[in-house]
Structure 1
Amino acid sequence: MPEVVDVLLRREGTATFGQLRAVVSGRAIRAALATGSIRRIAKGVYALPAAPDPITAARAQGGLVSHLSAAVLHGFDVLELPDKPQITVPRGQHRRLSPVSCVLHWADDLPSDGTCTSKLQTVLDCARTLPFAAGLTIADSALRGRVLDRSQLMVAAANLSGPGCRRARQVAAAADGRAESPLESVLRAILIEAGILGFEPQVVVRDGTFSSRIDLANPALMIAVEADGFAYHGTRAALARDCRRHVSLTVRGWRLLRFSWEDVMFDPEWVLQAIRDAIAGSPGHHNGSDSRTATLEAAGSGRL
């Protein structure tokens, strides 16, 4: 069932039978329906199950919507939707009986008004409690949407204490609003956690006759790394455009490595090995030493 749910998440929660069958088996779809992992909302149309209302859960518990549930309410990109509403209540407060099941967190100095933790607090909470890639995805999204300033995030993370504070500071240090999608954030997180440095998001390669922007690039090594979602590369026109772009980068000395959603999300070790092989100049990769140098510009030159 995870594959069926993943497809729906990538399509913002809904898909037709044909769209699902292009990726997963009919048996998997029937199994997901039988277990309640997905639901049929119309003939031939499927969706993720409706989640309990987090605001209702927060009011029932006398707290605030927080963590991943708050990230969704704030409109941040997330890698997965919460199974249950995540609620933060004042420290010392006991769980109240409620028909809405939820995950409780406790915190000091919780605001007495509002229904949701602030955008900054939400990013910090997620950075502390989620895996690095998931936390970075949310932080990148907040910076990309300009609802937070990177220096503000860095200062707030530096002042944290307690469980998860080190991870939150790592997320704040790596967060970059230039990342254009969750898949790019996860790909960058894989490199960072492996200690592979020198790759910058959204690097522009430009000369007199050509201009292209790369998801992640190491200009010194002339290695380009792309995170390819099917939605942007699934048509004949997109294929023709991608082929010409690939050739144009190659003749300029770039090694272009393209990874799918499945590669990045389900086989990060293979992704890392491919990038390590490219860096090491393994057989099958040219070193680009005789190639013509293109002018490089980092899109939005400074971090947000």
Structure 2
Amino acid sequence: MPAVVDVLRRDGTATFGELRAVVSGHAIRAALVAGTIRRVAKGVYALPVTPDPVVAARAQGGLVSHLSAAVLHGFDVLALPDKPQITVPRGQHRRLSPVNCELHWADDVPSEGHWTGKLRTILDCARTLPFAEGLTVADSALRLGAVDRSQLVVAAAELRGPGSLRARRVAASADGRAESPLESGLRAILIEAGITGFEPQVVVRDRTFSARIDLGNSELMIGAEAESFAHHGTRGALARDCRRQVSLTVRGWRLLRFSWEDVMFDRDWVVAAFRDAIAGSPGHHNVRTAMARRRGAAA
């Protein structure tokens, strides 16, 4: 079960009913008492105000970095940082400050500016964060044109020390076609599980129909969608989704739809669902096998 703060990181604010749909009432009350969430209006909750990362960086004599810098650059992140992430020169001690922050130490901290540059930020995230989080930042940076892929791959190849192999893996896997953090997170699960053949934003089109699928394997005709409630939570959106799924199904596609909770908290189930679909497990119609049987019967 996700924590209350995880839900609020995703949506910013939530009503008691929205929280109660995914966490227990006890968890909500405990988070209020602990101060990890706050009530901003009757029945509406949010995270506590996050300290200004630039203020935290100046207090520590460093630069805003990692996920905090990614947010300042406008990159998508899978989850917002709990507190400002700051990089200071190696050997510098933590300074006394009322602003709580997460410190990183490095040899090459620029003396100008308030946060790390775009390429440096992507690489910092790639080498220190879990693969899915690093990939989300890199995908977003490529989509925004902040760096190009060859630049990222070359820079990652030049890294040495802890996290360099992780950064190279992120750089090799990054794809600017990804359109959302949740989509990047879903693709990261497949990459880590060794499931190949799925590409971002696959287009299915004929004379009367056109749709893009978050992740698709055109050979197997399996698609996957990373679903956000914010984009699918209205009656009109539900109707469009139903018609779109039926249109894909009658064209032979199997569409797997995964929620934020699935991607963030139940990776094993997501992997199992993909493997079952690929294997043509009971309950899934194996289109290619059926077509082959029909061709054999006709002959």
User: Structure 2 length normalisation: TM-score?
Assistant: 0.92
Alignment of structure 1 residues 144-155 onto 2, 5 Å: 144-155=143-154
Alignment of structure 1 residues 13-162 onto 2, 5 Å: 13-162=12-161
Cα distance, 1:109 vs structure 2: 2.5
Deviates more, 1:88-97 or 1:127-136: 88-97
Q: Is the 8 A contact 2:2 2:23 kept in 1?
A: no
SS at match of 2:263: helix
Deviation digits for residues 176-196 of structure 1 (CA, Å, limit 9, x no counterpart)? 111111110110000000111
SS at match of 1:171: helix
Cα distance, 1:291 vs structure 2: 8.1
SS at match of 2:95: coil
User: Is 1:174 matched with 2:178?
Assistant: no
Q: Is the 8 A contact 1:251 1:291 kept in 2?
A: no
Distance 1:285 1:44 in 2: 42
For 2:145, the aligned partner's letter is R
User: Structure 1 length normalisation: TM-score?
Assistant: 0.90
The aligned counterpart of 1:300 is none
SS at match of 2:258: strand
Distance 1:186 1:48 in 2: 23
For 1:130, the aligned partner's letter is L
Alignment of structure 1 residues 218-297 onto 2, 5 Å: 218-289=217-288
Relative to structure 1, the CA distance from residue 83 to residue 289 in structure 2 (aligned partners, 3 Å threshold; closer, same or farther) is closer
The aligned counterpart of 1:299 is none
SS at match of 1:289: helix
Distance 1:257 1:42 in 2: 37
Distance 1:81 1:232 in 2: 19
Cα distance, 1:45 vs structure 2: 2.5
Distance 1:88 1:139 in 2: 19
Deviation digits for residues 251-302 of structure 1 (CA, Å, limit 9, x no counterpart)? 111111111111111111111111101111122222222789xxxxxxxxxx
Q: Is the 8 A contact 1:72 1:78 kept in 2?
A: yes
Relative to structure 1, the CA distance from residue 154 to residue 15 in structure 2 (aligned partners, 3 Å threshold; closer, same or farther) is same
Deviation digits for residues 39-67 of structure 1 (CA, Å, limit 9, x no counterpart)? 12233322111122221121122111111
Q: Is the 8 A contact 1:252 1:291 kept in 2?
A: no
Distance 1:227 1:57 in 2: 34
Deviation digits for residues 55-88 of structure 1 (CA, Å, limit 9, x no counterpart)? 1121122111111211122222222222232111
Q: Is the 8 A contact 2:62 2:89 kept in 1?
A: yes
Relative to structure 1, the CA distance from residue 89 to residue 60 in structure 2 (aligned partners, 3 Å threshold; closer, same or farther) is same
For 1:41, the aligned partner's letter is V
SS at match of 2:287: coil
Distance 1:145 1:110 in 2: 25
Deviates more, 1:19-28 or 1:132-141: 19-28
Identity %: 79
Structure 2: gaps of 5 or more residues = 292-299
For 2:196, the aligned partner's letter is L
Cα distance, 1:92 vs structure 2: 2.4
Q: Which has the higher helix share?
A: 2
Q: CA RMSD in A?
A: 1.8
Q: Is the 8 A contact 2:198 2:215 kept in 1?
A: yes
For 2:190, the aligned partner's letter is L
Deviation digits for residues 206-229 of structure 1 (CA, Å, limit 9, x no counterpart)? 001111100000011111111111
For 2:156, the aligned partner's letter is A
Distance 1:2 1:255 in 2: 28
User: Is 1:207 matched with 2:193?
Assistant: no
Distance 2:58 2:122 in 1: 22
Cα distance, 1:22 vs structure 2: 4.2
Q: Is the 8 A contact 1:253 1:291 kept in 2?
A: no
SS at match of 2:3: helix
Deviates more, 1:221-230 or 1:40-49: 40-49
For 2:106, the aligned partner's letter is A
